[in-house]
Structure 1
Amino acid sequence: MTIPAQAPSGRLLPLLLGTGGLLVLGGVALFWLASAQNQPQTEGAVPVTVTATACEPMAIEVPAGPTRFLIRNASDRPVEWEILNGVMVVAERENIAPGFSSVLSERLKPGVYDITCGLLSNPRGTLTVLATAESAAETAAPPLRELIGPLSERKVQLMKAAGKFARATQALEQAITAGDLAAAKTAWMRAAAEWAGLGTVAPQAADLQNRIAPQAAWLAGRETDPAFTGLHRLEYGLFARSSLAGLAPVAAALTKDATAFQSRVKAFDGTPAGIAADAARYARSLSDAIAAGNLAPYAGEDHLLLAAALDTLDRARAVLDPLLSAADPAQAVRVTARLAAAHAAAAAVPLDRQANAAALAAAAEALAGINATLGLEP
C-alpha cells in the first residue's frame, strides 16, 4: 500500500526554511571568499592607468625594493606596460585586455627608469626608484663566487642561440629573395623558434626587440603601420596572405637586426641573479601571451614556439640546479616539476591555452623563488 506524502508540520516548516536560508547564505559566503582569494593582491599596489595616449600618472616615485603596480587598461585595445632601463626591459606585463587590470610585482633597484604607456608611439613616462638603507647594503654585497661558473655557462648558451637566430634569418631572407613561398614558410618557423629561445635575453635589447618582433596590436596602424616589421610582418605576409610581395626589404632588415642582436648578446654582461629572474619574467610573459593567443597569430605554430621557449627556461634552470639542489633539494625538485608540467601542457593536442597559461605561471613562480634561496636577494 502506498503511503501518501505528508506536508511538513507547522512547527517543522519554519525550521526547514531557516535551515535552507542558512545554507544559501553559507554558499554565498563561500563563493565570496573563493572569489576574493582569486583576486590579484592589490593592497598597497601603485596604481597606473594606461589610456589610449599616455599613462596616468606619467611620473611615479617609489622606494627601492619589492613593489607592486596595479596596471589598468583604459584604452580600447590590449596593451603592455614595461619598466625600461635604457633599452633593457626590467619588468613587464603584457596583453592586458581593455577594461581589465593586472598586477606586476618586481624588486627594483635605485635609479630612474622609463615606463611604456600602451602603443609604442605613445610618450614614455618616468619611474624614479629612491635608494634606501637596505638597497645600499645590497649594492655593497659581493656576488657569490660559486655563481661565476653558471653565469659563464649561461652566457655561452645565449651566444650560441643568438648565432643560430642570425643564421636562421639569413636563410629566411634567401628563401624570400628566391621567390620560394614554401621554403620561406619553413625558414620562418625555424627563425621564429630560434627567437623564442632567446626570450630571456631579448628584453636586454628592447630597441631591437621592438623591430624584430613587434605585435600588430601594439601599433596604431596595426598590420598597416610602418613600424610593423620583423618576424610578425613576415609571418603576416607568408601565412595570412600567402604572398612574398613586399617582403624582401623586411627580411633584409630582420637579418641586419638579428646580426646586431647577436653582437649585443656577446657584449651583454649578465648578473647571477639575472639567470633566474630573467627566466621567471619570460615565463610570466609567455603565460600572458599564450592566454591571449598571439605567439604566432598568423601561422598558428604555438606548439613549436612554446617548445623552444621552454627549452631555454630549462637551460636556465639546469645551470643553477647544482647550487639549488645543494641549498634546497625540495625546491630544486619543485622547479623541475613545474617546468616538466609546462612542457606537458605545451605538447597537448589540441593546445589548451588556459592550461598552458596556468602551467607557465606556476613555473614562473617557482623560478622566481630561486634567487632568495641562493642568497641573491633578501
Structure 2
Amino acid sequence: MSAEPDGIAPPPPGTGPSRSRRPPMWQVAAAGLAVAGAVTAAVLLSGSGGGTVEHSAPATAADGLRHTAVDASTGSCGRGWIRPKTGTQVFDLRNTGANATEVYLTDPHSGKVYGEVEGLAPGITRPMVVDLGSGSYAFKCLQEDTDAVTGPTVVVPGTVPRGPAAVPVTQHDLIPPTLAYQKWVGDRIGDLGRGVKALEADIDGGDLAAARRDWLSAHLVYERMGAAYGTFGDADGAINGTAARTPGAVQDPDFTGFHRIEYGLWHGASAASLRTPAAKLVGDVKALDDDWSQERMDPADMGLRAHEIVENAEQFELTGRTDYGSGTNLATARANLDGTKELLDRLNSLLVPRDPGAAKLTATLKRAEADLDAAHHGDTWTPLDRLAHDQRQRINADFGDLLEQLAPVAAIFDVRRTA
C-alpha cells in the first residue's frame, strides 16, 4: 500500500463552499466597457462631506463611453441625469451624504433593477455601467439606517429594447424554498444513515466487494446535498474530508469519512482495518442527523449555492483531485448535478419570471446529465483517465456552459433591499 493515492492533488481549502458575490446580469452584459480611473469632467464639488454636486452636460471620457454625473445621496437621489439617451453608458455616482448607501437604477413601475452600486461611501464617486433601452428609469438610494429614496423618473426616448434586468428578490421571498430544501436535505440524511450502516455491515462481514458497491451508493447520497455543506459545518470535514498532500497523510487519524474508507477499499486494505473508520462514519452521520433539526440554512445563500455546486464539481471532480482510488469522479459530478437540479426546482417559481435564460439553463443541465450518463455502465463508471477525448471535451464544455448560465442565477437571488 502506497503512502498516498496516486494522482491526488492538494485537497480544496476548507470543507464548505464560500459565499462570494457574482456580478449582476447587467454588469456581465456591460463587462469590459468601463475603464477604471476614467476622468469625468462633469463632476464639480463644492464644500466637503455633505456638499452638493453640480452637473454639466454628459461627457465622453477616455473609455469612449458617455458619462453622466449623478448624485446618490438620499437628499437629492438621482439628480443630474438630464439628457437621457439609449446605449451603453456610465453613471458616475457621488455620495454626498453622511453614510454609506446602495444605489439601484430601476424601472419605477415594475421595480426591475438595471444597475447597482453597493457600499458607496460618503464623499466617494463610483461608476455604474449600464446598457439602456427606451423606457422609464429612476435611481433608488438606500442609505444605511434610513428608508429608501427614489429619485425623479427619467424617460429615455426611442424604441430601443431594454437591457438585462430583474425584479429584486427579498429575504422573505426565499424563506419558503429554503425551508422546503432544508426538509429535503433532512430526508436525504436519513437515507445517508441507512447507506453508511449498510457499508459498515459489509465491512464487518468481510465482504469488501459489497462494501465497494455500497460505498459508492452512500457517497452519492451525500454528494447530492451540496447546497447544505455550509450548514453542515465541521461535520462535512468528518464525513467527506480529504487528506493533506504530505507523506503518510492518509494514515493520519484526522483523515476520516468516505474518502478514508475509499482509499482503503481500493488500495488493498483488510476489512479489519476498515472497521474503525466505518464505525466513525456511521457515528458522524448519526450526529449530523441528530443535529439537523436545530440547524437553519441561510436563504440568502440559495442562488449562489447552485453555482458553487457546479463550480466545485468542475474544480475537484472533473480534475480527479478527490479520487482516492475508486475512479468514480464522474458519478460524483452526476450526483452534484442532481443536487443542483433539486435546488433550482425549489427556486423555479422565483427564477423563471426573472431570468429569460431559465429554459436554456434547464436544457444545458439535461445535456450535461446525458453526457455524464454515457460514462455509466451498469454498476461501474468510466474513470476520468479513460474517457475518450471527444467525450471529455463535451463534459468540460457542458460544465463551462452551466457555470456561465448559473452566474446570473446567483446575481438574481442576491438579496436586495427594496425599502
TMscore range, shorter length = 0.5 to 0.7
1:143 pairs, out of 170, 174, 179, with 170
**How many angstroms does 1:217 deviate by?**
4.3
Distance 1:277 1:240 in 2: 37
Contact 1:335 1:363 in 2 (8 A): yes
Contact 2:22 2:407 in 1 (8 A): no
Aligned to 1:333: 359
1:344 pairs, out of 370, 394, 408, with 370
Distance 2:144 2:288 in 1: 29
Structure 1 residue 249 corresponds to structure 2 residue 256: no
Q: 1:217 to 1:321 in 2, by over 3 A?
A: same
1:180-191 correspondence runs (5 A) = 180-191=207-218
1:17-36 correspondence runs (5 A) = none
Distance 1:367 1:215 in 2: 27
Q: 1:314 to 1:89 in 2, by over 3 A?
A: closer
> For the aligned residues, what is the CA RMSD?
3.2
1:12-67 deviation line (CA, Å, top 9, x unaligned):
xxxxxxxxxxxxxxxxxxxxxxxxxxxxxxxxxxxxxxxxxxxxxxxxxxxxxxxx
2:309 pairs, out of 268, 282, 292, with 282
Aligned to 1:192: 219
Aligned to 2:239: 212
Secondary structure of 1:168's aligned partner: helix
Distance 1:370 1:207 in 2: 28
For 2:395, the aligned partner's letter is N
Q: 1:138 to 1:174 in 2, by over 3 A?
A: farther
Aligned to 1:364: 403
Output the TM-score relative to the length of structure 1.
0.61
Structure 1 residue 90 corresponds to structure 2 residue 18: yes
Structure 1 residue 80 corresponds to structure 2 residue 12: yes
Secondary structure of 1:216's aligned partner: coil
Secondary structure of 1:161's aligned partner: helix
1:175 pairs, out of 178, 191, 202, with 202
2:338 pairs, out of 281, 295, 311, with 311
**How many angstroms does 1:362 deviate by?**
2.8
Q: 1:225 to 1:356 in 2, by over 3 A?
A: farther
Distance 2:296 2:407 in 1: 20
Aligned to 2:266: 239
For 1:211, the aligned partner's letter is A
Distance 1:332 1:308 in 2: 21
**How many angstroms does 1:248 deviate by?**
0.6
Aligned to 2:131: none
Distance 1:149 1:357 in 2: 34
Secondary structure of 2:12's aligned partner: strand
Distance 2:290 2:405 in 1: 31
1:324-372 deviation line (CA, Å, top 9, x unaligned):
11223x2211321231232123123354455434422432332232243
**How many angstroms does 1:182 deviate by?**
2.0
For 1:249, the aligned partner's letter is T
1:213-249 deviation line (CA, Å, top 9, x unaligned):
2223456633222222111111111122153131111
Q: 1:275 to 1:174 in 2, by over 3 A?
A: same
Contact 2:224 2:338 in 1 (8 A): yes
Structure 1 residue 373 corresponds to structure 2 residue 409: no
For 1:274, the aligned partner's letter is D
**How many angstroms does 1:277 deviate by?**
1.1
Gaps of 5+ in 1: 1-75, 92-104, 109-130
**How many angstroms does 1:271 deviate by?**
2.9
1:287-321 deviation line (CA, Å, top 9, x unaligned):
00133214443111233322222111111111111
Structure 1 residue 266 corresponds to structure 2 residue 281: no
Q: 1:232 to 1:156 in 2, by over 3 A?
A: same
Distance 1:219 1:153 in 2: 41
Output the TM-score relative to the length of structure 2.
0.55
For 1:251, the aligned partner's letter is A
Q: 1:215 to 1:336 in 2, by over 3 A?
A: same
1:91-117 deviation line (CA, Å, top 9, x unaligned):
4xxxxxxxxxxxxx6469xxxxxxxxx
1:249-289 deviation line (CA, Å, top 9, x unaligned):
11111011111222343322223332221121111010001
Larger radius of gyration: 2
Gaps of 5+ in 2: 1-7, 24-98, 103-117, 120-141, 149-168, 376-381
